[in-house]
Amino acid sequence: MFFVRTASERDLEKVRVLLAETWHATYDTFYGVEKVNELTGRWHSLPALKSRLERKNAEFLVADDGRNIGGMGYAAMSDTLKKTVVLHQLYVLPKLQRQGIGRDIFAELETCFPDAERMRVEVEPQNLHALAFYRAHGFSEVGRTSDCGDASGLPALILEKPLV
Ligand SMILES: CC(C)(COP(=O)(O)OP(=O)(O)OC[C@H]1O[C@@H](n2cnc3c(N)ncnc32)[C@H](O)[C@@H]1OP(=O)(O)O)[C@@H](O)C(=O)NCCC(=O)NCCS
């Protein structure tokens, strides 16, 4: 049984491993192994994860069963968009997907930002499972970008969900 709680520094190595495994399972077919290694090495290093943990106006959550971390989620208020919280990461280990862990993490993240009027997420256009998850949770498409995240050069659909 997994429960959702705030992440701590002690969790970060497990989160790093979870992200590497889940990223390869999700994105290797779209981007290739090398690109995934490059991005996950850059975005999910321990220093990168630690700086997210320390960021203000942000929530870093994990799903924990007492021994293992089965999923993680990270959202932060946007620096540039008014009253918008950006869901930067939501990842569940492949073997634990479709058991409600993503839904539980998302439900918690949704309640953490009382000042936000909307939540935004960028999704790889070919990632149909994630798109199905977000549509089932009230998101709809508002645009596209050709550079998802931090200088990735990857395209993404931009989805939003009203929170009020
Ligand atoms: C997308 C993800 C976070 C969803 O988490 P999850 O724990 O697997 O999903 P849940 O079991 O909580 O699903 C909740 C609902 O979302 C929808 N959903 C989730 N996965 C789906 C899929 N593969 N296909 C269709 N609908 C899906 C369903 O409505 C589901 O409810 P149901 O199982 O009662 O039908 C998870 O599958 C994941 O980590 N995927 C790989 C990484 C990824 O793409 N992350 C998002 C990056 S933007």
Does some domain include residue 58? Answer: yes
Q: Could you list the residue range(s) of the whole structural domain that residue 15 is in?
A: 3-116
Question: Residue with the nearest Cα to atom 25 of ligand 1?
Answer: 132
The pLDDT of residue 42 is 93
Does some domain include residue 100? Answer: yes
Count: domains in the chain: 1
The pLDDT of residue 21 is 98
68: CATH: 3.40.630.30
The pLDDT of residue 151 is 75
- C-alpha distance across the termini of the chain, in Å: 31
pLDDT beyond 90 at 80: yes
Question: Residue with the nearest Cα to atom 36 of ligand 1?
Answer: 92
Q: In the chain, at which residue ranges do the beta strands (DSSP E only) sit?
A: 3-6, 58-64, 69-77, 84-92, 118-123, 140-145, 156-162
Joined tokens for residue 18: 């979870």
Mean pLDDT of 35-55: 96
Read off the pTM.
0.96
CA of 133 to the centre of ligand 1 (A): 5
Does some domain include residue 85? Answer: yes
Confidence of residue 15 (pLDDT cuts 50, 70, 90): very high
Does some domain include residue 164? Answer: no
Does some domain include residue 130? Answer: no
133-147: pLDDT as tens digits? 999 999 999 999 998
